[in-house]
Amino acid sequence: MKAIYYTSFILLLFMISCGPTAKEKEEMRQQAIQDSIALVEASKPAILKILENIEKENPSIADFFVIPEIANSIKNKYGENYYSFLQQQTKPYNNTPSKVERRDNFYGEAEMYILSFKFETKYSGVIQFQYHINEDAVDVFTNLKVANDCYSLLNSDGTFALNEGSKWEGQYLEFDEFGDPIKDKPFIAIHNSDINGYNSTYIAVMKGDENHIRFYYSLPWHPAYFSHNELNSISIKNKQDGSIRELSNYQYDTRHCVLSEEDSRYIRELCDNNPQVSFSVRFVVTSYDLFPDGGEAVVIDFEDGVAFGLSNAVNAYFYRVF
């Protein structure tokens, strides 16, 4: 029996003495770490690997957009024409560092990579490239300048996106002698009536003559009864700062009037610069045979941002880049 215990003890000592040394254990641990890192790297999407490398090397903006994986991801989502347009805008920036930025989430985990820059070529605007890590998805936003401090998002088909919630609509406001709309005179317009609903006005812009804003109105004229019908004055009150502008040098009849370029520019800037723009248009008209009376005033309100985004709407309805 003692021999059995003695033999067992010797075997136990042998097993203990033959186990891995501390150095071997550390080597095994390091190998496991390297294997784990290699597995993670192998599972990363191709674009993520490239962006991690770009973050370190910081290539130029022009070079960034011709990297095959980046270029193909944009072409696959937005098409060849959109990519070609991007390349035209980025080509001059071959000495401008891309400065790709990594954005982390609340937990400090990498969430996306972003490249954003302003460009001035034939066009001017802002391009932003986004790569969403968890979705392995690319987004590109191109906003082109269409007026002072006014930008419109470019769609992948070369058209402009209409601002979300915009009240501007495509309209036909000119008609032939049969009452049919004149198709080669398209307009964008917004419409409102006075408080009683008796009188109304379209604020409109015609394609090809964007420098002149037009009012198409229903006002208290009486052309069937009087020989003279006059538009005595038009004024606009900016309800946000209380200022009043008297319009001048407009051409009118009883159906519509065409504003001067100067006054048209004032209204366009009013409609472009503030999403909450609010203003009123006041018309004073007279209809008479021999002697004019004091005139009749009509006020039409365009409040709470209903007229916002005029330049955006002009481009969205009338034009495209490619």
Per-residue pLDDT of the chain (322 residues; tens, 9 = 90+): 545 555 554 554 455 555 677 776 666 566 555 545 544 555 589 999 999 999 999 999 999 999 999 999 999 999 999 999 999 999 999 999 999 999 998 888 889 999 999 999 999 999 999 999 999 999 999 999 999 889 999 999 999 999 999 999 999 999 999 999 999 999 999 999 998 889 999 999 999 999 999 999 999 998 888 899 999 999 999 999 999 999 999 999 999 999 999 999 999 999 999 999 999 999 999 999 988 878 999 999 999 999 999 999 999 999 999 9
Give the CA count within 13 Å in the CB-facing half-sphere of 78. 25
Q: How far is CA 195 from CA 189, 209, 283, 299, in A?
A: 20, 31, 14, 8
Q: Whole-angstrom distance between the N-terminal and C-terminal Cα of the chain?
A: 97
Give the list of residues 6+ apart from residue 123 with CB closer than 8 angstroms, or none. Answer: 89, 144, 145, 321
* Other residues' Cβ atoms within 10 Å of the Cβ of residue 234: 21
> What angle (nearest 5°) sits at the alpha carbon of residue 206, between those of residues 215 and 231?
20
Give the list of residues 6+ apart from residue 21 with CB closer than 8 angstroms, or none. Answer: none
Q: How many residues does this entry show for the chain?
A: 322
> Residue 137 burial (CB < 10 Å; 0-12/13-18/19+)?
middle
Mean confidence (pLDDT) of the chain: 90
Edge-first strand listing for the sheet containing 279-288:
244-246, 228-238, 279-288, 296-302
Give the list of residues 6+ apart from residue 192 with CB closer than 8 angstroms, or none. Answer: 200, 201, 300, 301, 302, 306
Q: What are 229-257's pLDDT values in tens digits?
A: 999 999 999 999 999 999 999 999 999 99
Q: What are 53-80's pLDDT values in tens digits?
A: 999 999 999 999 999 999 999 999 999 9
Kindly state the percentage of the chain with pLDDT values over 70: 88
- 109 has which bridge partners? none
Give the list of residues 6+ apart from residue 30 with CB closer than 8 angstroms, or none. Answer: none
Q: What's the token pair of residue 235? A: 């004024």
Q: At 311, which helix (H) or strand (E)?
A: helix 310-318
